[in-house]
Amino acid sequence: MAKKDFPGVHFYDQDFVDVYDQTWAWIEEFWQKGSEENGLQPKFFNQPTAETISQVEACFSTFFLVYSNKIYPCTPQLDNFYAKQEENGAIRSEYRVSDGSAFLTDDNPEGVCLPLFSWAEHNLFHKIGNKKRIKEIMPILEKHFSWLESTFKDENGLYRVPLSATGMPNSPRKNSVYYCDFNMVMAVNAMYMAELADILNDKEISFFYKRHYFSLKTKINQLMWNEESGTYFDLDESLAQVPVKHLGAFWSLLCELPNDAKAEKLLDHLKNPDTFGTPNPFPSLAADEPEFHETGNGYRGSVFPHLTFMVIKGLEKYAGYSLARESAIRHLYYMLDTLHPEGNRRGKVWEAYKPTKEGPAEWPDNPDFPREQFITTVSLSTITLMIENVIGLFVSLPRKTVDWIVPTLEVMGIDNLSLKRNLITILSNKSNRGWEIRLESEKLYYFTIDIIGDKKKTLPIPSGKCSMLIDKL
């Protein structure tokens, strides 16, 4: 296969393969050029009709662009924001494409949003392996972290931000002052800052962020966890819990806040059709909340690909691979429904979907919702979840490892996946000798096959072609 090609996926349902291939074709139309006037990168990824660039969307976009085999650059989206950093460390949530100025609103005058840079950079390091980049960006991320600390941290050690900073603007959370999702993402931020420092072998910086992380983890678990409801809640001014079950609480899984007993209760919610285990997983508001809408009504029930992605990445931290895979597949089927409508209508993918029936979500008060062909977050499902959770491949370039975690063996796999200057192919097939995995690679790497509940084995895979029979492992 030609070097300049995207990785090909193989799956028994051809529709999944088609939407994966189609997504790469759509992405081609999302490249923009910076100008002298806006000071943005020469080539960066953004929604073609968008008047601003969004920090949160930029971070999420790196999770799928990283699979383009270097055909598309992953880092300019982030570099756009780093270049805009102010003297005090501030990086605003949005900047205008017209002139590069910060886009600030009355309800969010500081332009604060969920800080996802360190999570995105950590993922990039494992997929691209560029240590030099971490060294260069670390001072920017540290300054940004201290701006968040000095501007939004209260004396009680929790962060106070406007509701729009959570990215869930019409979530029914009145009286909430300390949002659990923002505080959890600050813990995610500290956790990955420590990991980046570990990659650079900087013990001092690593210790600084680990201490931050553990103190915030303790606080959130003490104040925000509700044993009876089995989830985390926001807090009001007096630190009393505001009992609204929303999907923001599941950022806790990503930063490994809950112990096993708490995690089990959270996972029960994700399986429970009366709360978050709706047919299309996972709604932004629990289905048994009084303000829940079956049509979505913005963040009162809509299913957003980037939030479903966040929950699935959190499930991995607790080895919830089977639930992660099943949820990813169900979620993708709902996307395919609007992409292949009945009759002659042209199909589309959407920014958000209904939780219990087919079709795009609705939000009567917001005529621009949901945005159609919103590839910026849809690709998290059609590319990243497809590779990592439906097929089940986890790649780490610095470690030269590929882990294949599957609940059941099926005809599936990937070809032409770039692992540094090494293209690899991994396919499972049923032959007359039983289940067989065919592998092809240019250089040595370590392959772990983990068939959940059955067998797990790590083998060094030499260059060239080889195959292994599962029964013989």
Q: Are both 371 and 315 inside the same structural domain? A: yes
Domain that holds residue 453: 393-473
Q: What is the pLDDT of residue 136?
A: 98
Question: Domain ends where: 336, 368, 392?
Answer: 392
Q: Three-class SS of residue 86? A: coil
Answer yes or no: is pLDDT of 345 > 80. Answer: no
d(Cα 219, Cα 302) in Å, to the nearest integer? 30
Q: What is the greatest pairwise CA distance in the chain?
A: 67
Answer yes or no: is pLDDT of 425 > 90. Answer: yes
Answer yes or no: is pLDDT of 343 > 70. Answer: no
Domains identified in the chain, total number: 2
Lowest mean pLDDT among 139-153, 184-198, 400-414: 400-414
Mind spelling out the 3-state secondary structure of the chain?
Answer: CCCCCCCEEECCCHHHHHHHHHHHHHHHHHEECCCCCCCCCCCEECCCCCCEEEHHHHHHHHHHHCCCCCCCCCCHHHHHHHCCCCCCCCCCCEEECCCCCECCECCECCCCCCCCHHHHHHHHHHHHCCHHHHHHHHHHHHHHHHHHHHHHECCCCCECCCHHHHCCCCCCCCCCCECHHHHHHHHHHHHHHHHHHHHCCCHHHHHHHHHHHHHHHHHHHHHCEECCCCEECEECCCCCEECCCEHHHHHHHHCCCCCHHHHHHHHHHHHCCCCCCCCCCCCCECCCCCCCCCCECCCCCCECHHHHHHHHHHHHHCCCHHHHHHHHHHHHHHHHHHHCCCCCCCCCCECCECCCCCCECECCCCCCCCCECCHHHHHHHHHHHHHHHHHCEEEECCCCEEEEEECCCCCEEEEEEECCCCEEEEEEEEECCEEEEEEEECCCEEEEEEECCCEEEEEEECCEEEEEEHHHC
Q: What is the pLDDT of residue 10?
A: 96
Q: Is residue 300 part of a domain?
A: yes
Q: Can you point out the beta strands (E) in 326-444? A: 393-396, 401-406, 412-418, 423-431, 434-441
Q: Is residue 27 part of a domain?
A: yes
Q: Residue 473: which pLDDT band, with cuts at 50, 70 and 90?
A: confident
Q: Residue 455: which pLDDT band, with cuts at 50, 70 and 90?
A: confident
Q: Are both 180 and 229 inside the same structural domain? A: yes
Answer yes or no: is pLDDT of 4 > 70. Answer: no
Higher pLDDT, 418 or 68: 68
Cβ density class 347-359: b for 16+ within 10 Å, e for less: eebbbbbbbbeee
Q: Is residue 7 part of a domain?
A: no
Question: Domain ends where: 366, 392, 418?
Answer: 392
CA nearest neighbour of 284 among 297, 274, 273: 297
Please give the average per-residue pLDDT across 213-228, as a whole number.
98
Q: Is residue 5 part of a domain?
A: no
Q: Are both 305 and 381 inside the same structural domain? A: yes
Q: Are both 383 and 427 inside the same structural domain? A: no
121: CATH: 1.50.10.10
Q: Are both 45 and 116 inside the same structural domain? A: yes
Q: Are both 311 and 344 inside the same structural domain? A: yes
pTM of the complete model: 0.96
Q: What is the pLDDT of residue 2?
A: 42
Distance from chain centroid for Cα 283: 16
Q: Can you point out the beta strands (E) in 99-201? A: none
Strands 401-406 and 445-451, sheet pairing: parallel
Q: What is the pLDDT of residue 1?
A: 37
Q: Are both 96 and 159 inside the same structural domain? A: yes
Please give the average per-residue pLDDT across 220-225, as a whole number.
98
Q: Is residue 464 part of a domain?
A: yes
Q: Are both 86 and 125 inside the same structural domain? A: yes
Q: Are both 338 and 459 inside the same structural domain? A: no
Q: Residue 423: which pLDDT band, with cuts at 50, 70 and 90?
A: confident
Burial class (CB within 10 angstroms; exposed 0-12, middle 13-18, buried 19+) of 31: middle
Q: What is the pLDDT of residue 344?
A: 63
Q: Residue 81: which pLDDT band, with cuts at 50, 70 and 90?
A: very high
Q: What is the pLDDT of residues 97-139, one digit of tens each?
A: 999 999 999 999 999 999 999 999 999 999 999 999 999 999 9
Q: Residue 11: which pLDDT band, with cuts at 50, 70 and 90?
A: very high
Q: Is residue 215 part of a domain?
A: yes
Q: What is the pLDDT of residues 223-251, one digit of tens each?
A: 999 999 999 999 999 999 999 999 999 99
Q: Are both 296 and 432 inside the same structural domain? A: no
Q: Are both 58 and 84 inside the same structural domain? A: yes
Q: What is the pLDDT of residues 34-66, one digit of tens each?
A: 999 999 999 999 999 999 999 999 999 999 999
Q: Are both 377 and 400 inside the same structural domain? A: no
Q: Is residue 289 part of a domain?
A: yes
Q: Residue 147: which pLDDT band, with cuts at 50, 70 and 90?
A: very high
Q: Is residue 83 part of a domain?
A: yes
Question: Domain ends where: 392, 424, 447?
Answer: 392
Answer yes or no: is pLDDT of 141 > 90. Answer: yes
